[in-house]
Structure 1
Amino acid sequence: MENVVLFLHVAAAAVFVGPQLLLFFAVMPATWLIDDERLRRDVTLIISKRFGKIAAFSLLILLITGLYQFYFIVPETVSSDIGNYNFGRIFMLKMTLFVVVLGLVLFHIILGKKIGKLVDALVEGEDNSFELADARRKSFIWSAVLLFISFCILALGVLLGNPQFSYVIS
């Protein structure tokens, strides 16, 4: 069972981080080539909604399998005295960053809706191109931050998975 849970955890992490890479480095820059704002919005909306479903499912699996590992796989000597092991500091940092990721995802959803409204207003003739460009720039920057933090969480997961390091009393 431990291997199945670990596989699901790693697979969910790959499913969450992999598409972020593709979106950040390929898909979103490709949408910059679309001059028709309505078409650009529609394409971006389809992509982001589909990624959102995948991401939400992945985050749920990560949470469930992560909790399972903590409560059923981590040795009780470590989990009951977590503060005295390297595991404790790494785990707390990983969980803090996980909460930050959840916050960034929610923020990105809100920012995406704002961008959608700005595009609708622009299509209707309102001159808000500066505000729209600013919102898109912020979205791209926050995507980079989200991607970086996601990779940090992956690295921390690797450290947690190494008992020769994480199960050492600090």
Structure 2
Amino acid sequence: MENIILFLHVAAAAIFVGPQLLLFFAVMPATWMIDDERLRRDVTLVISRRFGKIAVFALLTLLITGLYQFYYIVPDTVSNDITSYNFGRIFMLKMTLFVVAIGLVIFHVILGKKIGKLVDALVEGEDNSFELSDTRRKSFMWSAVLLFISFCILALGVLLGNPKFSYVIS
């Protein structure tokens, strides 16, 4: 059972991080070539909604499998005295970054809705192109931050999975 849970955890991490890479480095820059604002928004909306569904599934899977590993796989000596081991510092940092990542995903949804409203207003004739560009730039920047944090979480997961490092008293 431990191997199945670990596989599901790693697969969920790949499912969450992989599409972020594709979106950040390929898909979103490709949408910049679409001049029709409504079409650009519609394409972005389809992509982000589909990614959103995948991301929610992956995050829930990560949470469930991560909790299972903590309560059933981590040795009792470590989990009962977590702050005495390297595991504790790494685990707390990883969980903090996980919460930050969830917050960034939620913030990104809010930015996406704002971009949608700005596009609608622009299409209706309102001159808000500067605000729209600025909001898109912020969205892209926060995507970069989320991607970086996601890779940090992956690295911390690798450290947690190495008992020669994480189960050492610090």
Q: Place the TM-score, normalised by the shorter chain, in its bin.
A: over 0.9
Aligned length: 170
User: Which residue of the partner structure matches residue 60 of structure 1?
Assistant: 60
Q: Report SS of the residue matched to 1:34.
A: coil
Distance apart, 1:133 and its partner CA: 0.2
RMSD over aligned CA atoms reads 0.2
Distance apart, 1:49 and its partner CA: 0.1
Amino acid at match of 1:139: S
Tell me the distance in 2 between the aligned counterparts of 1:54 and 1:102: 14
1:52-131 mapped onto 2 (5 Å cutoff): 52-131=52-131
Amino acid at match of 1:18: G
Once the two structures are superposed, what CA deviation does each residue of 1:42-73 show, in whole Å capped at 9, x if it has no partner?
00000000000000000000000000000000
Distance apart, 1:41 and its partner CA: 0.2
Once the two structures are superposed, what CA deviation does each residue of 1:103-152 show, in whole Å capped at 9, x if it has no partner?
00000000000000000000000000000000000000000000000000
Tell me the distance in 2 between the aligned counterparts of 1:54 and 1:23: 13
Tell me the distance in 1 between the aligned counterparts of 2:77 and 2:55: 34
Q: Report SS of the residue matched to 1:127.
A: coil
User: Which residue of the partner structure matches residue 157 of structure 1?
Assistant: 157
Tell me the distance in 2 between the aligned counterparts of 1:136 and 1:151: 23
Tell me the distance in 1 between the aligned counterparts of 2:73 and 2:143: 33
Tell me the distance in 2 between the aligned counterparts of 1:45 and 1:105: 15
Q: Report SS of the residue matched to 2:35.
A: coil
Once the two structures are superposed, what CA deviation does each residue of 1:9-35 show, in whole Å capped at 9, x if it has no partner?
000000000000000000000000000
Amino acid at match of 2:155: A
When normalised by structure 2's length, the TM-score is 1.00
User: Which residue of the partner structure matches residue 34 of structure 1?
Assistant: 34
**Consecutive aligned runs of 4 or more in structure 1 exceeding 6 Å deviation:** none
Structure 1: segments with no counterpart, 5+ residues: none
Tell me the distance in 1 between the aligned counterparts of 2:77 and 2:100: 29
User: Which residue of the partner structure matches residue 138 of structure 1?
Assistant: 138
When normalised by structure 1's length, the TM-score is 1.00
Tell me the distance in 1 between the aligned counterparts of 2:34 and 2:118: 16
